[in-house]
């Protein structure tokens, strides 16, 4: 067997098992990212929608690599009601509440739905591609027991890392 052939065989094996090991994480990121596209993981102001706890935790894990959600301070009623308020401590200088980032970045009348649908389709495509890759790797594997152990490791290792 030539050196080039051995290198190609080794590369294919490494590619196979790295792909199998990372497939659970890819599926997690594809699913949670697709759900985050439509902001299903958070409550917006003025809305009665409360996201399910599992979805909020999964989104937090996706974004911040932890399931602990930061405690958000609520805005005082008097600051929320008025846009300008005087500060009696500092010579009556006006104090303005911080503007929401979405107020400044998004032009009025911009329709975000087409881009959201596109990214949801990308997330779906990534999930389907990962699942079909797992199926093909399992179906054509010469060592199904090793395949199963590597795949189980891809599930177990991140779960164990959550404990630290």
> Can you list the alpha helix ranges (DSSP code H) found in the chain?
3-37, 53-64, 77-81, 101-105, 113-139, 144-161
| 161 or 78: which leads in pLDDT | 161
Every domain of the chain and the residues it spans? 3-66+111-161
Half-sphere exposure in the Cβ direction for 100 (13 Å, CA):
7
pLDDT at 89: 52
SS3 85: strand
Among candidate residues 66, 60, 58, the one with its CA nearest the CA of residue 27: 58
Residues 6+ apart with CB under 8 A from 74: none
pLDDT at 88: 52
Q: How far apart are CA 154 and CA 7, in angstroms?
A: 25
| 148 or 47: which leads in pLDDT | 148
Cα first-last separation, the chain: 46
pLDDT at 156: 97
């Amino acid at each position: 067997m030539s050196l080039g052939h051995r290198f190609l065989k080794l590369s294919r094996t490494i590619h196979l098992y790295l792909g199998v090991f990372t497939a659970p994480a890819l599926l997690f990121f594809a699913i949670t990212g697709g759900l985050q596209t439509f902001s299903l993981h958070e409550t917006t102001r003025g809305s009665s929608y409360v996201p399910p706890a599992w979805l909020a935790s999964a989104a937090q894990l996706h974004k911040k690599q932890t399931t602990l959600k930061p405690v958000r301070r609520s805005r005082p009623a008097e600051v929320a009601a008025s846009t300008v308020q005087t500060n009696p401590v500092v010579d009556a200088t006006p104090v303005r509440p911080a503007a929401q980032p979405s107020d400044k970045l998004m032009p009025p009348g911009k329709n975000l739905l087409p881009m959201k649908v596109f990214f949801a389709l990308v997330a779906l495509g990534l999930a389907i591609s990962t699942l079909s890759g797992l199926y093909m790797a399992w179906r054509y594997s010469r060592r199904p027991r090793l395949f199963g152990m590597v795949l189980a490791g891809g599930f177990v290792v991140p779960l164990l890392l959550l404990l630290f």
